[in-house]
Amino acid sequence: VPWGTHLCQFYHTKRDLIDILVPYFKAGLENNEFCMWITAEPLGVEEAKASLKKKVRNLDDYIKKGQIEILEYSQWYIKSGKFDSDSVLQGWVEKEEQALKKGFNGLRLTGNTFWLEKKDWKDFTEYEAAVDSVIGNYRMIAICSYSLEKCGASNVIDVVSNHKYSLIRKEGKWELVESAARIQAEEEFKDIFNLSPDMVAVYTTEGKFLKVNPTWEKVLGYTQKELLDLGWTKLVHPDDVEKTNKEVE
């Protein structure tokens, strides 16, 4: 699973949570990732820990060295007594920064939303949209778990639209479904990118092109491969590189 992946899991029972989250965290621990498991009904801290320990025999060692935290939702989502989306999002960012400083490869997390009340739904949906828009900038992987008993049809649509993939159990098997809205948006972006008469590119601040549209080839006469090898700094006058680099940053 690449960094920046934001998934949702729809579940019925605690067994559904265990089936997905235990191997999820086992892989994270083995990959030297810092892990955070935010629990809620029907799977609390002690039961989550016991379930993980069945597959990760040395779990206590990981806990002692600070590689995994398993917390109740009240210790994370509503620490101040109510849900504050900005504080929670900033908390994830700070946890990722701390993890990297400690030598871990990134942050792997999950949060169970069973605690959510109707009055919190709008704020939480906006929070999920914010997470989805920024998670690609960080070394994070997230699974957000939603109880189907508490989600109506409109809630499910909200959830799916804010996650790239959905994990759904169908006929006893887990399926990974990509969001149709996201697929459509990506196709529309590709069309705009490829058909634009303007020179459009995706690049890093170090000067490396990640992607260029066909207009670059038409205007400059280079092939796409040549442009990707060159990088944008080679196409700017030497006297303008520093100024352009500041604008890019």
Using 50, 70 and 90 to split pLDDT, how confident is the model at 210?
A: confident
* Predicted local distance difference test score (pLDDT) of residue 157: 85
124-128, 161-165, 181-185, 216-220: least confident range: 181-185
Using 50, 70 and 90 to split pLDDT, how confident is the model at 63?
A: very high
Using 50, 70 and 90 to split pLDDT, how confident is the model at 227?
A: confident
CA angle 118, 124, 127 (to 5 degrees): 170
Using 50, 70 and 90 to split pLDDT, how confident is the model at 51?
A: very high
- In the chain, domain spans: 5-183, 196-248
pTM, to two decimals: 0.73
- Whether residue 184 is predicted with pLDDT greater than 80 in this model: the reply is no
* Predicted local distance difference test score (pLDDT) of residue 244: 64
Using 50, 70 and 90 to split pLDDT, how confident is the model at 45?
A: very high
* Single-letter amino acid code for the residue at 35: C
**Separation CA 74–CA 40 (nearest Å):** 9
* Predicted local distance difference test score (pLDDT) of residue 129: 92
Pairing verdict, β 68-72 and 34-39: parallel
**Separation CA 37–CA 46 (nearest Å):** 12
The CATH H-level (homologous superfamily) assignment of domain 5-183 is: P-loop containing nucleotide triphosphate hydrolases (3.40.50.300)
Q: What is the mean pLDDT of the segment spanning 49-63?
A: 98
Q: What is the mean pLDDT of the segment spanning 56-79?
A: 97
The tens digit of pLDDT for each residue in 113-129 reads 999 998 999 999 999 99
* Distance spanning both ends of the chain, measured CA to CA: 28
